[in-house]
Chain A
Amino acid sequence: MPGLIRNELMKIFKRPGSLIMIAILILLVTVAGTFIGIQASKGAVPDNSEWRHGLEMENNRLKRQLEDTKEFGNERDIYYIEQQIAINEYRLKHDISINKDYSMWDFVNGNLPFIDVAGMFTIIIAAGIVAGEFNWGTIKLLLIRPRSRSKILMAKYLSVLIFALVNLVVLLVFSTILGALLFGVPEEAPVHLLYYNGKVIEQSMPVYLLVSYLLYSIHMIMLATMSFMISAIFRSSSIAIGVSLFLMFTGVQITDLLAEKYDWAKYSLFANTNLIQYFEGYPMVEGMTLPFSVIMLLIYFGLFQFLAHYIFRKRDITA
């Protein structure tokens, strides 16, 4: 198995395309850093000594708003207002100022959406990893070795995961280094305030960022798995890329629209890929819980893998 994975990684990384993808990721982070760097140096945050007063005023306003909202009853809005009030109160109580300079931590946090770019690249790699062998005609030489088709397919999937991991690590590490160079590391790591089960919890920034990156990646991993399955079934990388990228950027919105009307929207893959919703916000469909989403994700994952393996193993190779 290690030999098979080394083979797949060699085929991924010895193509210029894959290296360009990682270069683009680095370039995007650099461009983001440069822009923020220019803005941050010009419009430095003024030291607001009256921040306590400001938060008190905001809370009074929010409380009034909360009463109004409760009458018309949109639970999600109520939840968000309550969250804001709780966090503000926690700040006042524990004297955690909202005044802080833009630092490396904010930069790393701000680069979280770039995971979608990494996801896009992973989808492209996943789409090509099986279909490519058919296009190149190398599938014939690949499958006449003393290795079962399942093992070859599994090695290919694990290599896609490794490629995704490399992308994530590059994004995280490069963001951290560039952030530290451009914006500096504060002496005391700031805390992240999390509103969970009606309580506010202090969380260390590195842990929060690491968990955020991992949770955010689930979306891209599921779509890459889907792309991999389509690639193995249809032997066409363009179908796999097209469908997966389309769903990557529209799936959540479509599910969101469906969720307004139909309860079954919670069984959609895209209602469940965002696990951050259970920690930082309100679930897309009422009644969804973390275990429910994890089980749904495992079912989808199992289904994708089963279909890919089943069809790949039975296929007559005529390419």
Chain B
Amino acid sequence: MPPASPLSWKAGRTFMFLYLLACVFWIYSGCSEGICSGCTECGESPMSIAVEIHNVTKRIKDKTIIDKISFEVYRGEVFGFLGPNGAGKTTTIRMMVGLMSITEGDIKICGKSIKHDFEEAVSRVGAIVENPEMYQFLSGYDNLLHFARMSPGVNKEKIAEAVELVGLTDRIKDRVKTYSLGMRQRLGLAQCLLHDPEVLILDEPTNGFDPAGIREIRDHIRMLAKKKNMAVIVSSHLLSEMEMMCDRFGIIQKGKLIDIQSVHDSATDSEKVYEFDIDSVEKASLILKTAFPHLEWKNAENGIFVRAAREDIPLLVKRFSGEDINIFGVKEVTKTLEERFLEATNGRGALKNARFDPQ
């Protein structure tokens, strides 16, 4: 009987070699796994910069999709991101979370570059990019478990906490397949809150919610920004929603950031538009032409729009009533976000579209 068969011996040597190769692979991958979970670099002062987008350009082949965009988002604020379809909103968001490469410029999250320090930077971000697509064949809980395992330091209690926060406790063990769109959105929100991010990026967060749900999510978002001092970046096409949710918003068009406005600073114009509800428009226009030639005005359905300073109003009222014009009401026409958005993107004046109807 021969002592050892060459078959098993030779094969053994081959497999030993392959095994060693696998071991080297394993050790190599294991070593670089150390991830810092603390975030001391991110300043705790409420208005420090959380996201810094610096001269970011994205080119695909020769086409410039994003052209030198720069802006900052601060901790504790909700920043809205507006733009018509195809303007580059989603591309910008994808670059912020490292799904797309940045051609020029850099994005820093809590001071860490997403380009050069991806794992550090992205560990501070929770995001829903477009629809929150989850694994349909897994339960909601398994989905959360899946993502929890990918972030350091997320335990079962954190999962339960996130589920509780979005109000999914009853259905969390069911398969995602059976969820409604609103429930999926909730699960998506739970998924991005698991690891206590410092920056929250939400694409269309209120899509699929009923009015009560929209209000609830809006309150959640505002609460997270204020209480947990998170920076929240929201994009949505529902402008009225954005108006209620955001502190500031940036408008992007054709890959360029054309304007950044604060939601509450409509008082920057000293002149506002007022609507006079009167019965005799002809008389009023004659008066305006002769006595107030410096004022801009326009006929409306039941009266007249006038762009005027606050102190002009009593003068106008006196003059009108003196001329026997019946005044039923005078009210300030505030520019909605919608109007400001259209103004910024199309150059169309708010006065011409004072009552913009989306349909």
A: residues with CB less than 8 A from B are 1, 3-4, 6-7, 10-11, 14-16, 136-138, 140-148, 150-151, 154, 194, 196-197, 201-203, 207-208, 211, 214-215, 275, 279, 290, 294, 314, 316-318
Contacts and interface: CB of A to CB of B under 8 A. Distances in A.
Contacts of B17: 294
A196 B150 contact: no
A201 B118 CA distance: 57
B97 A144 contact: yes
A61 to B, nearest CB: 29
Contact of B150 (A3, A294, A314): A3
A79 to B, nearest CB: 17
Nearest to B152: A146
B188 to A, nearest CB: 8
Nearest to A208: B7
A30 B21 CA distance: 37
Contacts of B135: 11, 136, 138
Interface of B: 1-2, 5-8, 10-11, 14-15, 17, 25-26, 29-30, 32-33, 35, 60, 94, 97-101, 118-120, 122-123, 125, 127-138, 142, 145-147, 149-152, 191
A194 B5 contact: yes
Contacts of A147: 119, 150
B318 to A, nearest CB: 62
Given A4-B149, A15-B137, A147-B150, A140 B5 contact: no
Q: Which one of B11, B94, B147 has the greatest number of beta carbons of chain A within 10 Å?
A: B11
A3 B148 CA distance: 9
Contact of A201 (B5, B97, B123, B137): B5
A10 B138 contact: yes
B119 A146 contact: yes
A6 B148 CA distance: 12
A11 B138 contact: yes
Contacts of B35: 146
Given A1-B30, A14-B142, A146-B123, A6 B133 contact: no
Given A11-B146, A201-B2, A317-B94, 7 more contacts: A3-B150, A4-B150, A141-B128, A141-B134, A148-B32, A203-B7, A316-B99
A314 B150 CA distance: 21
Q: Which one of B60, B120, B131, B150 has the greatest number of beta carbons of chain A within 10 Å?
A: B150
Contacts of A6: 149
Nearest to B21: A298
Contacts of B15: 214
Nearest to A314: B101
B98 A144 contact: yes
B23 to A, nearest CB: 13
Contacts of B191: 141
8 contacts: A1-B29, A137-B130, A140-B99, A141-B132, A145-B151, A146-B122, A146-B151, A294-B14
Contact of B147 (A141, A154, A202, A275): A141
A237 B85 CA distance: 31
A147 B195 CA distance: 14
Contacts of A197: 6
A235 to B, nearest CB: 14
B24 to A, nearest CB: 13
B25 A154 contact: yes
A290 B25 CA distance: 24
A317 B99 contact: yes
B293 to A, nearest CB: 56
Nearest to A143: B99
Given A6-B149, A140-B130, A214-B15, A14 B138 contact: yes
Contacts of A15: 137
Contacts of B101: 314, 316
A215 B11 contact: yes
Contacts of B1: 202
A20 B60 CA distance: 43
A197 B120 CA distance: 58
A10 B146 contact: yes
A197 B101 CA distance: 57
A143 B96 CA distance: 12
A243 B61 CA distance: 30
B6 A201 contact: yes
Given A146-B123, A211-B11, A214-B15, A140 B152 contact: no
Contacts of A279: 6-7, 10-11
